[in-house]
Amino acid sequence: MTIMKLLVQTQTGSVSDSTRAKIAMVRPILTATLHALKRARLERLGGLDKVTLEDLAREYREGSGDSGICFEYAVHEGLKAKDPQIFPRVSEVLESYCGIKDGAESILFGLEKGTSLKLLATGAEMLTSESRVLAGKTGQPPKLKKHMDNIVRAFRSKKHRDKLPTCIRGLWRTDLFVGSRAQDRWVGTTLKINAKDLEPDAGIRVGIYPERRAGEAPTRDEAKNLILCPLPYNAGFMELFYESFFLVKQVLDADAQIPMPVMLPDSEDRFVAQELVARRLFPVLGIVEALASMAQPELLTETQAGDVDDETTDAVAPVALIV
């Protein structure tokens, strides 16, 4: 079991200039992608500070420094901070639909796909040997810790998924466990940017997504046997992240050259791409530093989460400013 390392980008200001904001977001994405390279590759290229954008394009593989967890981390942080637009809504859903009182707490549980299994369990210290996971079935809820190893095996191997007890089927797809330490009760929760992508399973009870229309209320989807929990969310910031992430990906996929117009049709994206490509023979860290003066100031602050002692980075996770 490996603990992930995240480069966390927290929005601290509103987007005031879309081009400069995109440059601000491109910088940590480039940094995370660079740090995601395996140590042996970095050494072969002369060390972290010697890797050029051209080198990075040749070494880049899908999944390295990818978007990883974004919305999930933002919701997790919002619950930890008792954000007024997230905490009351999730707490209301837990009490009304699951009988869990005392306010929502969160354990971020992400099994990331890749060449090896990576387990991120931020807040796992809240679990005890008596922690129960509610699955909406009659009878005594199962103990979560007792089944944790089997849940991990189910992620790794399809044949183990059918071996999970019926009441916790699908828990390997859980993004968060939300619940209460005081009651020692938790609920498997899935999060999606688009509500139509929410997938039910016996062990998953709550689906969280950005609201599709202002004032959308929680409800139970009887067909999916899923409690739907829409949240107010700063979609504009997440759009900025994804646009910037795919901009960098297209440049790297094009061998650090300007991508074809069909791959990058937006004029702002092409401008930022040109600024990157013009520096393709310079070290990536130098490019990140050079772009600082062009970026929107005070848009982001940077922290680390997970295994901060690890030299490599598994994902960059933006946390939006909730408005």
User: Looking at the whole model, is its pTM more than 0.85?
Assistant: no
pLDDT of the residue at 2: 42
What residues have CB less than 8 Å from 7, skipping those under 6 apart?
28, 31, 32, 35, 302, 304, 313, 315, 316, 317
Helix (H) or strand (E) holding 207: strand 204-210
**Cβ–Cβ under 8 Å, residues 15 and 312:** no
Distance CA 112, CA 3 (A): 11
Q: What is the per-residue pLDDT for 114?
A: 35
- Consecutive 10-residue runs of the chain (323 residues): their mean pLDDT? 55 70 86 81 90 93 55 76 85 94 84 39 69 69 74 74 76 85 90 85 87 88 91 69 88 95 94 97 95 78 60 59 55
What is the residue extent of each domain of the chain? 5-67+236-319, 87-231
Neighbours of 95 (CB within 10 A): 15
Specify the pLDDT at position 65. 46
Dist CA 37 CA 60 (whole Å): 8
